[in-house]
Amino acid sequence: MLQYVIRRLVYGMITLLALSIITFTLLQNTGGDPLDRLKSNPRITQQAIQEMAEFYGLDQPGTKQYLTWVGNFVQVWNYPTAWGRSFQGPQQVQELVLNRLGGTARLMFTALGLAVMIGIPLGIYQAIKQYSFFDQATTTFSFVTFSTPIFVLGIGLQIILALKLEQWTGVKFFYTSGMNSTSYSDLSFGARIGDTLQHLVLPATSIALISIAGYSRYQRASMLEVMHSDYLRTAKAKGLSRRSVIVKHALRNALIPIITLVSLDVAGVLGGAVITESIFAWPGMGRLYIQAIFLNDWPIVMAVVMLIGFMVVVMNLLADLAYGWLDPRVRYD
């Protein structure tokens, strides 16, 4: 078991290494010169630009730049200088990115939690009530949601649940930008929680909706399959009540395949967060990342990509462990 975890971590490292090489190569070849903006500024001399390029190591060949970057990047304990300096100014990338990590993590875990806690029970209930009005209505709803782009969902929620709701009721239920109000530090403990939730609900829901739709559809199918399985017929033939048949014999089996889906979806949720952060002015890595891409600020881009890759690797490992915990047929060797 421990051996399995260690081996998976080693594979994870290799995956991350490959990810870093591919991303770096792509950025080098398509990103353009990070100093382009300076070059087009007539007040900056050729000499100054030359010095900048030397300072950042941009005059070196790509391979050399990559090796230098990796060598420094892995020394995460050299906070805050390990991940290099942003091309936009004096900020250290590690400091910039890690400061924003909390915001993204808050958004991501809330969205993932919502999706799991709503999507999975929804799918199970749909399967139990197959063909009912509830089943048909929610299945249609899931289908529509699943095919709607995330920015449409985000803006839609802003218009309906923030703008219109406030106009109709005169009460502000939800905020559409930022992580907290400016008055946050003056609030009482209870009011702080309220303020945090009021900011969190809409962006987290926009991300979660698509996952809820996906999970419930998948969970419904998996539950239906289990409900038609031979061992469920055996359970009924034993004389078990419908309740025990579902709770004991169907649920656990029906949950096994969904774990894989959720772990694969972590990357999707993070991708959703990147877009949602821009719509809701959420101070997370996503906005930093998009800005950095436009400015060819590759140390930031690389750092964000590596963090996302790291989270995906860790979540996949957790998913595999959960898989083995639910399914005795899985062996770790």
Please report, for residues 23, 38, 84, 86, 171, the alpha-carbon distance to residue 89 in angstroms, rounded to integers and kept in the order given.
23, 12, 12, 6, 42
Number of residues that bind another protein (CB under 8 A): 22
Distance between CA atoms of residues 188 and 118, nearest Å: 31
Residues 6 or more apart whose CB falls under 8 angstroms from that of 171 comprise 165
Interface pick for another protein out of 11, 55, 231, 332 (rule CB under 8 A)? 231
Nearer to another protein, 240 or 275 (CB): 240
Please report, for residues 45, 83, 109, the alpha-carbon distance to residue 298 in angstroms, rounded to integers and kept in the order given.
23, 11, 26
Using CB under 8 A as the binding rule, whether residue 98 contacts another protein is answered as no
Interface pick for another protein out of 111, 157, 200, 235 (rule CB under 8 A)? 235
- Strand extents, DSSP E, the chain: none
CB of 226 to another protein, least distance (A): 10
CB of 262 to another protein, least distance (A): 19
Nearer to another protein, 171 or 237 (CB): 237
Distance between CA atoms of residues 283 and 146, nearest Å: 26
CA-nearest of 249, 228, 247, 227 to 238 is 249
Using CB under 8 A as the binding rule, whether residue 241 contacts another protein is answered as yes
Please report, for residues 10, 181, 205, 278, the alpha-carbon distance to residue 104 in angstroms, rounded to integers and kept in the order given.
26, 17, 14, 12
Q: Which of the stretches 93-101, 145-153, 225-233, 297-305 binds another protein when contact is defined by CB under 8 A?
A: 225-233
CB of 241 to another protein, least distance (A): 6
Interface pick for another protein out of 35, 52, 70, 326 (rule CB under 8 A)? 326
Interface pick for another protein out of 131, 133, 168, 294 (rule CB under 8 A)? 131
CB contact at 8 A, 107 and 274: no
Using CB under 8 A as the binding rule, whether residue 132 contacts another protein is answered as no
Six-digit token string for 142: 């899931």
Q: Which of residues 32-61 bind another protein (CB under 8 A)?
A: none
Nearer to another protein, 81 or 234 (CB): 234
Rg (CA), the chain: 24
By the criterion CB under 8 A, which residues form the site for another protein? 131, 229-231, 233-241, 248-249, 252-253, 256, 326-329
